[in-house]
Structure 1
């Protein structure tokens, strides 16, 4: 005696047949396959991609003064000792006279090296003396007193001035302002292009920040007006100028 198959076994078979039929396509008019299409996936939004640039011109609020003490002697030991004596006068000026914090005085280089004298007759060379160099960077926020500071540093023992770099300690604040300007610039470009195409901007799809930077001002030694050693002569003149903080973005807008 044969037992009847349970009806629940027919359900997955029927479902499988329907699934296969959907993949292979049903027969339409003339026996041609008919395929279902998701019209929603085929619709693309009208978009426009533009770049935006913004910048801020601001007065610097901090300066980094780079100077060095150079000392020469017949031996490396004597050169280093002589340099230490000169450098002590420089630190005394900075810490006691100008009241500059120790965190704002940073050694950027120290070396003791031989200097050679070349003999053109036989092509030989010999040690002439030794040079000890101690370079420092001084951070100051008294920008109006830069010239006098340079003169006082020279008088205290700094016999090499490498330059001055002006910058800002409000970098983040100015960067946000530059980004605001860049966004306004991008919006104006998108509106103009959309109008030319007979459309209008409706929404922002994506925003990408490409870069944000500031342009510090570098003043080299040769660009400074050195003070005359005569009594009553004006101090070294240094002009601060302005720094530029810029931002660059890419924005994708939807338009209709």
Structure 2
């Protein structure tokens, strides 16, 4: 074949390809489009309710003095008493962490004039405590020893990772239940999972108060011990799943 004829043959190749694409059966395009369109997408919810097994307590001491050194010495002495009180509850050193320590000037305003009164020292610790029945007693003992700040008491669980996985399992089951119901109602049958994704990061966790225990505590107001109600924790998770049919 001479060079001129070979060039003409090459020119015919793209024309032939265009002709083949133009005359591809419509059914092939329809099958591809239909396969993608046959989907059901749902969001499943999983919920776990559990009792807390751990309390996080933030308490501390605020002291004042004419000088920063005096305020710090008062704080150190006061916290030594608090630590001795906490020692009776057999709390590990690793479960007590200082979360705030500050020294600041203490001013007063008189006749539109700022006057230095002295200095203030604040020290706060976070305590991890597992005997939930004695949390109120711990607070009372710490206060009796000198603590004048109780900022927060939070109830949680050391098994949250396991509970989150359980909530995820329930969310997946819930998603399938929804999808099966939709498919049955539509007269089709699910045959595969095309995509699945976590719907919430991190999982939602919130406490629920035990109202019966709270009411009992209020009636027993004359009790010498503070009473706290751990209630229960609700762990929620969501997943989004796309099914094919």
Match of 1:85 in 2: 77
Once residues 99 and 123 of structure 2 are traced to their aligned partners in structure 1, the CA distance between those partners, rounded to angstroms, is 8
Within the candidate set 190, 197, 206, 2:186 is matched to: 197
Match of 2:119?
Answer: 130
Structure of greater Rg: 1
SS in 1 for 2:168: helix
Q: 2:15 aligns with which of 21, 26, 47?
A: 21
Provide the TM-score with structure 2 as the length reference.
Answer: 0.84
Equivalenced residues, count: 233
Select the residue among 160, 173, 188 that pairs with 2:162: 173
Counterpart check, 1:116 vs 2:107: yes
**Structure 2: gaps (5+ residues):** none
| Residues 59, 79 of structure 1: alpha-carbon distance in 2 compared, 3 angstrom cutoff | same
Instruction: Specify which structure has the higher proportion of helix.
Output: 2
Q: Is the 8 A contact 1:71 1:82 kept in 2?
A: yes
Cα contact 1:114–1:129 (8 A) shared by 2: yes
Task: Decide whether aligned partners of structure 1 residues 175 and 11 sit closer, same or farther in structure 2, where only a CA change above 3 A counts.
Answer: farther
Distance in 2 separating the partners of 1:200 and 1:36: 30
Q: Provide the residue aligned with 1:54 in structure 2.
A: 46
Kept in 1, the 8 Å contact 2:208–2:232? The answer is no
- Once the two structures are superposed, residues 226-253 of structure 1 have per-residue CA deviations (whole angstroms, 9 ceiling, x without a partner) of x99xxx9420000000011110110001
Pair 1:34–1:243, CA change in 2 (3 A): closer
- Which segments of 5 or more consecutive residues in structure 1 lack a partner in the other structure? 27-32
Kept in 2, the 8 Å contact 1:166–1:218? The answer is no
Q: How does 1:203-214 map to 2 (within 5 A)?
A: 203-211=192-200, 212-214=202-204
Q: 2:233 aligns with which of 243, 246, 251?
A: 243
Query: Where does residue 36 of structure 1 map in the other structure?
Result: 24
User: TM-score, normalised to structure 1's length?
Assistant: 0.80
| CA distance in 1: counterparts of 2:170 and 2:131, whole angstroms | 30
Aligned equivalents of 1:24, 1:202: Cα separation in 2: 37
Asked if the contact 2:60/2:149 (under 8 Å) is kept, the reply is yes
Q: Which stretches of structure 1, 4 residues or more, deviate above 3 A after TM superposition? A: 10-14, 37-43, 216-219
